[in-house]
Amino acid sequence: MAETAFDFEVITPEGSSYRGRVTSLKLPGKKGSFGVLARHAPLVAALDAGLLRLRGEDGKARAFAVGEGFVEVRRAGVRVLVDFCNARGQIDAARAEKAAARAKERMRQRDGKVDSARAEAALRRSLARLSAVRLTGLD
Amino acid sequence: MAQGMKELRRRIRSVTSIQKITRAMEMVATTRLRRMQSKAEGARPYADAIKGFSALLAGGGSTLSSPLTQAREKVGRIAVVVISSDRGLCGAYNANVFRKVSAFLSEKKEVAVDLYTIGKKARVHYARRLPIKESFNDEVEKLGFRRAREIARQMTELFLKGSAAGGVDEVHVVFTRFVSVGRQVTTVDRLLPIIADAKPTDTAGGAKAGAATVAPAAAAGTAAATAAGADVGMLLEPSPQELFDVLMPKSLAMRVFAAMLDSMASEQAQRRMAMKAATDAAGDMIGSLTRKYNRARQETITKELLDIVGGAEALA
């Protein structure tokens, strides 16, 4: 099946971290993960920290851990704006694991002093990184 | 005379080594400046896209509101975030920032002020002058977007609390805007409440810029109306209001980050200029000292010659 490719870019405050033509995307939407193929209807959606998966024009699958942000789907292409975007090789698994444990611990002590929304966001970020590292069958 | 010559030689040597140091610092500042500029450059697409989104949402026709855009009628307490450098030898960079802060505070005499500092120089400067509420980090150059996001989040929390509940009613940032390599402007910017820049004119500019970056091909849009028209039927998920609520903190964080990047670039630009001036001044000094030294040497030689000639004549 010949799949149609489209332009895709990931932009973070520290610069563009991925740019290329892809045939499919899977994004961590606020209301759940969703996929984008060529000729998707124009859309702006909020993204949670999570796993971004894509299949490049070359047929290669890639995965990134991304932070909270947005996706903008237009006819001309798709852009993702996120706080960070880490390729698998950039992630320190041990550090992410520690961060996840810390966030979980903080969420457990519900004594009002803990900002649970913040702890939750931290947990999501670290879990996103961990799941990116642990993915198999890529590259 | 020999004594004077020795002293001169010593001074020439010391000025020469100072010049070596200032020249090295000048070169380091030049490289750092370039790095900072490219960082700032890298942040631009994100900032533009955020602006484009705001315009898109504001242009959707629906009335969006956020507590972050609401100005308080009575301002009881404000937060001022001062961005300075960690190191000195950067000309009037920090002095200008502190002067701006003083000027700003004298305008705000009737409200209480919470001071927040970024950079070692500000912390040290205000340590014995004004109560500092919190010093964020002593390593300005290592601050990344993460840190900017944290600071923005903390400021947002304070703002939402309001001065009645121990928070603040306004948040201002004092930083140095990087206009060009030769021009930097110390600026006070109001971070919160967010100035509703989604007014018609701005929206037009923002939407056009947004559309242009996204779809250069589809940028047949001559007017903002065309650009907005292209977005009709765009799915928004979740609702525009929810998107707006996510967007606002992002745009705040980005503004803090941009202020940091601007300040860092400005610091390096000013350090480079200061070091260049120092290197030039050292060069002038070496020149005049060398002249003095040569004259002194010549005088000694002449005197010795006179002595010899005088002695020879006496013997003859």
pLDDT digits over B42-75, tens only?
898 898 888 888 777 776 655 677 788 888 888 8
Question: What pLDDT, on the 0 to 100 scale, is given for residue B61?
Answer: 56
B72 touches chain A (CB under 8 A): no
Question: What pLDDT, on the 0 to 100 scale, is given for residue B308?
Answer: 92
Q: Which residue of B lies nearest to A81 if distances are taken between CA atoms? A: B46
Tell me the pairing of strands A77-82 and A6-12: parallel
pLDDT digits over B116-152, tens only?
999 999 999 998 888 888 888 767 677 788 889 889 9
Mean pLDDT of B228-246: 72
Residue B137 sits in a domain whose CATH number is: 3.40.1380.10
Q: Provide, rounded to the nearest whole percent, the portion of chain B with pLDDT above 90.
A: 48
Q: Which of B62, B156, B214, B264 to mutate to test the interface with A (most CBs of A within 10 A)?
A: B214
Which of B145, B218, B234 lies nearest to residue A43, judging by beta carbons? Answer: B234
Which of B46, B149, B236 lies nearest to residue A11, judging by beta carbons? Answer: B46
CA distances from residue A86 to A98, B261, B316 in whole angstroms, order as listed? 17, 22, 95
Q: What is the DSSP letter of A1?
A: -
- Determine, yes or no, domain membership for A39: yes
Same domain, residue pair B157 and B251: yes
H or E segment and range at residue A54: strand A50-56
Question: What pLDDT, on the 0 to 100 scale, is given for residue B215?
Answer: 36
B182 touches chain A (CB under 8 A): no
- Determine, yes or no, domain membership for A16: yes
Question: What pLDDT, on the 0 to 100 scale, is given for residue B138?
Answer: 65
Mean pLDDT of B236-244: 82
Which of A44, A74, A118 lies nearest to residue B243, judging by beta carbons? Answer: A44
- Determine, yes or no, domain membership for A47: yes
Same domain, residue pair A30 and A81: yes
3-state secondary structure of B215: coil
Query: How many domains does chain B fold into?
Result: 2
Inter-chain touch B214–A74, beta carbons under 8 Å: yes
Alpha helices in B59-178 (DSSP H): 93-107, 120-127, 145-161
Phi-psi region of B315 (alpha: psi -120 to 50; beta: other; left: phi over 0): alpha
Question: What pLDDT, on the 0 to 100 scale, is given for residue B135?
Answer: 85
Residue A117 sits in a domain whose CATH number is: 1.20.5
Question: Residue A41 is part of which domain span?
Answer: 6-87
Return d(Cα B55, Cα B202) in angstroms, integer: 8
Strand runs (DSSP E) across chain B, as ranges?
A: 77-83, 112-118, 132-135, 170-180, 183-192, 235-237
Question: What pLDDT, on the 0 to 100 scale, is given for residue A29?
Answer: 92
Question: Residue B52 is part of which domain span?
Answer: 37-270
Residue A62 sits in a domain whose CATH number is: 2.60.15.10
Same domain, residue pair B155 and B285: no
Per DSSP, what are the bridge partners of residue B92?
Answer: B90
Which of A13, A72, A79 lies nearest to residue B257, judging by beta carbons? Answer: A13
Inter-chain touch B215–A81, beta carbons under 8 Å: no
Same domain, residue pair B238 and B280: no
Query: How many domains does chain A fold into?
Result: 2
- Determine, yes or no, domain membership for A119: yes
Count of Cβ atoms closer than 10 Å to residue B300 Cβ: 14
In chain A, what residues touch B146 (CB-CB under 8 Å)?
83-84
Q: Which residue of A lies nearest to B50 if distances are taken between CA atoms? A: A81
Name the B residues in 214-253 with CB < 8 Å from any A CB.
Answer: 214-218, 231, 233-238, 242-243, 246-247, 250, 253
Same domain, residue pair B23 and B119: no
Question: What pLDDT, on the 0 to 100 scale, is given for residue B223?
Answer: 35
Q: Are A74 and A41 within 8 A, CB to CB? A: no
pTM of the model as a whole: 0.81
Q: Which residue of A lies nearest to B56 if distances are taken between CA atoms? A: A44
Is the peptide bond preceding residue B249 cis, with omega within 30 degrees of 0?
no
Inter-chain touch B215–A69, beta carbons under 8 Å: no
Residue B100 pLDDT > 90: yes
Same domain, residue pair A72 and A105: no
Question: What pLDDT, on the 0 to 100 scale, is given for residue B232?
Answer: 54
Same domain, residue pair A77 and A27: yes
Angle at CA B40, nearest 5°, toward B249 and B172?
45
Mean pLDDT of B105-112: 89
- Determine, yes or no, domain membership for A1: no
**Among the three residues A69, A87, A105, which one is the final residue of a domain in this structure?**
A87
CA distances from residue A94 to A100, B55, B108 in whole angstroms, order as listed? 10, 41, 48
Same domain, residue pair A66 and A118: no
b/e burial code for range B104-126 (CB count within 10 A of at least 16 → b): bbeeeeebebbbbbbbbbbbbbb
Q: Sign of the C-alpha dihedral, residues A7, B216, A48, A90?
A: positive
Q: Sign of the C-alpha dihedral, residues B116, B119, B121, B127?
A: positive
CA–CA min distance A135, chain B (Å): 25
- Determine, yes or no, domain membership for A53: yes
Same domain, residue pair B153 and B252: yes
Alpha helices in A66-115 (DSSP H): 93-108
Same domain, residue pair B162 and B303: no
Does residue B235 or residue B24 have the better pLDDT? B24
CA–CA min distance B238, chain A (Å): 6
Count of Cβ atoms closer than 10 Å to residue B154 Cβ: 16
Cβ contacts below 8 Å, chain A against chain B, sum to 94
Question: What pLDDT, on the 0 to 100 scale, is given for residue B105?
Answer: 92
Question: What pLDDT, on the 0 to 100 scale, is given for residue B170?
Answer: 92
Same domain, residue pair B241 and B288: no
3-state secondary structure of B223: coil
Tokens 């960079």 belong to: B93
Same domain, residue pair A75 and A14: yes
Q: What is the mean pLDDT of each run of 10 residues along chain A (139 residues)?
A: 82 91 93 91 91 91 92 91 90 89 84 73 89 75
Inter-chain touch B234–A79, beta carbons under 8 Å: no
Mean pLDDT of B167-191: 92
Which tokens go with A95? Answer: 């550090």
Report chain B's terminal Cα–Cα distance, integer Å.
29
